[in-house]
Homo-oligomer: A and B are copies of this chain.
Amino acid sequence: MSKKISMNDIARELNISITTISFILNGKAKEMRISDKLSQRVLDYVKEKNYNPNTVGQSLRTGKSRIIGLVVEDIADVFFASVARLIEEKAYKKGYKIIYCSTENNTKKTIELIRMLRGRNVDGYIVTPPKDIEHEVSSLLSEGLPTVLFDRYFPQLKTNYVGIDNYNGAKTAIEHLAKQQYKHIAFVTLDSGQTQMADRLRGYQAAIDDAGLIPHLLEVEFSAKPQKLVQQIIDYLTQNKNIDAILFATNYLALRGFEALQQKQLVIGEQIGVVAFDDHAFFKVFNPPISAVAQPMKELSEHLIETLFKNLNAKGDQQITPVEIILKPELIIRQSSSKKL
């Protein structure tokens, strides 16, 4: 397999100009009126020697890299990992690779990451932004770098955004619980203040109001360690013994919540009704199966990548107006939220 050969090598070997090779390899042979005979000779040689253009050279010259930067909160989280996988698949088909980074929701780290990606000529950005990076994002925009936000957004910033209707997702879940005759429905969420969380909270409050119930809100510390999270939920349940149902604002919170319920010996689906935001493969086979507000993962990823590609392909300064795509989540009702009457 020897070492890689370069365009220069080919030019020397075939005794033609490097430019000619470039034209032929980039499908500009016709346009540049290269004879079919020469074209074929080059193409054959290239195939024979198994030549691959050096991506780095291309990138340096063109300023493009065919790399998409995926900047998410935590790549180990099922939600983000699933999105990553689906995006990767679609990107791959169009010849793009993904560089991913986990922000840990850390503003400083995220800014560093975006700068690094920029230094690498990354062509497009898919980002779940933490707080206070409006400036960094808008600087991407002002440089005309295709960017799509997802999961959360900045209300003041006109960007591409793909997400779900968190308000109605939460509202529908609460309506369902209310219909099941649960009377003291708690909402366990994070104090992160991000838009998706705020929207879910508003949905919860609206539905509770509509049903004439009392709100029970637990906002746990965003950056707390798992053990502390569990303890906070246990304490809350101990102090609010009347709670008969819980909506967890994320998958991860549900996990911690289940630990708390386990320790309090409260049986899901019997003493307490449960719905979780974001579905999880294992929810279906839980005992009892767990109800969930499911995000349409495939659609989400499709819209993300398509929006990005639309901007990627927009030639030059031809500005594309940012789009906001809000998808409908689906409430999947399983036994964890049905009172055995």
Contacts and interface: CB of A to CB of B under 8 A. Distances in A.
A107 interface: no
A102 B120 contact: no
Nearest to A67: B99
B59 A56 contact: yes
Interface string A46-67: 0000001111110110000101
A143 interface: yes
A128 to B, nearest CB: 15
- Give the copy number: 2
A314 interface: no
Interface string A98-125: 1111100000000000011011110000
B81 A76 contact: yes
A100 B88 contact: yes
A178 to B, nearest CB: 25
A286 interface: yes
A84 B80 CA distance: 12
A282 B142 CA distance: 43
Contact of A55 (B4, B119, B258, B284): B119
17 contacts: A3-B143, A54-B60, A55-B121, A56-B56, A56-B120, A67-B99, A74-B85, A75-B84, A75-B88, A76-B82, A81-B84, A85-B102, A88-B100, A97-B116, A99-B99, A255-B282, A259-B285
Interface of A: 1, 3-4, 52-57, 59-60, 65, 67, 74-78, 81-82, 84-86, 88-89, 92, 97-102, 115-116, 118-121, 139, 142-143, 255, 258-259, 262, 267-268, 280-282, 284-288
